């Protein structure tokens, strides 16, 4: 979630409660003969308040499963999750008297620190990565559609190369009965496309039967070798490390195709220009995937730790009340 001016009320409200709690804690700690303790009346007040906020924090996942629920908007819950989560950490510190305890208490505090740090890191990533993605990825697409887009780029690259080399020994044709739009697949009767598919197949046979752009045999062999060994493997869903290193920056992509232009005659340069655009788009899709994993990967730490912390907190509360 992006932190903007709409968070102002939650920030001010949480800060006011934090300030009042701090004043109450300082008075309580100063007048207590034995110092601040979790088992004292005031310590229990802080403990119950902090635990209540923790339970509320864990309800966010349940709230997301029912977006049409009348219990407030999901965005409102997210804002509350951020600022009340930070407030709960302060209240629990007041509950423990800033002590770490031992045994289960120590484990709880370690988990709470890890959860809070992971949440702050996640919030920072959510505010920074979208801006960074806009800078690095000019051709951003729907994340779920990236595999289909990569397949399309590979088929398009095959087609462009075949204009110079004719067949490249790889038979891979798209499913002409499927139209993808808006992240969904729409299926049509292939008979509706019979005429168009016949024309497409005729063009494909013509292109693979003989070069449409005639260059000398050495140039054909060079293009085919570079394409099959380096370019096409990079257009796979998961390219090898060598390909990622070869095309890791826009400058590297441009330099690679500049070298190819010195090898191939001017007649093939238009094909190289198209291939360069395809490889650059594939590079940007790789960045989008990587940033997407960063943007959501922190949850793999935050959520399991939160569930474990909630369970241990309830156990700690029950045991403390009994004994």
Contacts of 14 (CB under 8 A, 6+ apart): 83, 84, 86, 87
pTM of the predicted model as reported, rounded to 2 decimal places:
0.73
The residue among 289, 286, 277 whose CA lies nearest residue 245 is 286
User: Quick one: CA dihedral 120, 125, 130, 131, positive or negative?
Assistant: positive
Q: How many Å apart are CA 39 and CA 36, to the nearest integer?
A: 9
Tokens of 273: 């220009």
Q: What is the pLDDT of residue 227?
A: 94
CB 307 within 8 A of CB 58: yes
And the tokens for 56? 């509320």
Q: Are 97 and 37 in contact (CB under 8 A)?
A: yes
At residue 199, the pLDDT reads: 64
Give the span between the Cα atoms of 261 and 223, in whole angstroms: 10
Supply the pLDDT for residue 205. 67
Neighbours of 10 (CB within 10 A): 19
| Residue ranges covered by each domain of the chain | 5-137+298-322, 143-297
Structure tokens at 24: 């109450």
- Is the Cα dihedral 247, 251, 253, 257 positive or negative? negative
Query: How would you label 253-262 residue by residue, b for 16+ Cβ within 10 Å and e otherwise?
Result: beebbeebee
186-to-179, 181, 297 alpha-carbon distances in Å: 5, 8, 31
pLDDT at 179: 43
Average pLDDT per consecutive 10 residues, the chain (323 residues; last block may be shorter): 87 95 93 79 90 88 78 88 94 88 84 93 90 85 91 91 83 53 47 58 64 84 93 94 93 96 93 95 94 89 89 79 67
Res 196: pLDDT: 55
Phi, psi angle pair for 186, to nearest 5°: -115, 125
């Amino acid at each position: 979630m992006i932190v903007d001016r709409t968070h102002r009320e939650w920030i001010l409200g949480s800060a006011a409660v934090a300030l009042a709690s701090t004043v109450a804690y300082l008075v309580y700690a100063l007048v207590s003969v034995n110092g601040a303790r979790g088992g004292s009346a005031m310590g229990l007040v802080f403990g119950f308040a902090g635990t209540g906020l923790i339970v509320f924090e864990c309800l966010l996942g349940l709230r997301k499963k029912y977006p049409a629920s009348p219990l407030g908007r999901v965005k409102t819950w997210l804002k509350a999750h951020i600022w009340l989560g930070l407030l709960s950490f302060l209240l629990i510190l007041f509950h423990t008297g800033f002590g770490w305890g031992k045994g289960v208490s120590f484990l709880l505090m370690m988990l709470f620190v890890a959860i809070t740090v992971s949440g702050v890191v996640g919030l920072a990533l959510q505010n920074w990565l979208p801006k960074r993605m806009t800078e690095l990825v000019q051709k951003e697409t729907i994340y779920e559609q990236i595999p289909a887009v990569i397949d399309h780029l590979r088929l398009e690259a095959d087609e462009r190369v075949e204009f110079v080399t004719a067949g490249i020994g790889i038979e891979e044709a798209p499913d002409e009965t499927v139209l993808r739009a808006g992240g969904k697949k729409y299926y049509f009767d292939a008979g509706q496309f019979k005429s168009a598919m016949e024309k497409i197949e005729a063009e494909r046979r013509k292109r693979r039967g003989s070069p449409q752009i005639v260059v000398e045999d050495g140039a054909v062999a060079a293009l085919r070798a570079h394409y099959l060994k380096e370019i096409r493997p990079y257009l796979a869903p998961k390219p090898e490390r060598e390909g990622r290193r070869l095309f890791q920056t826009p400058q590297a992509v441009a330099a690679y195709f500049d070298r190819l232009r010195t090898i191939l005659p001017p007649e093939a340069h238009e094909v190289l220009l198209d291939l360069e655009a395809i490889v650059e788009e594939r590079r940007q899709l790789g960045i989008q995937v990587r940033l997407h994993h960063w943007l959501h990967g922190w949850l793999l730490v935050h959520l399991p730790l939160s569930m474990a912390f909630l369970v241990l907190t309830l156990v700690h509360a029950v045991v403390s009340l009994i004994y």
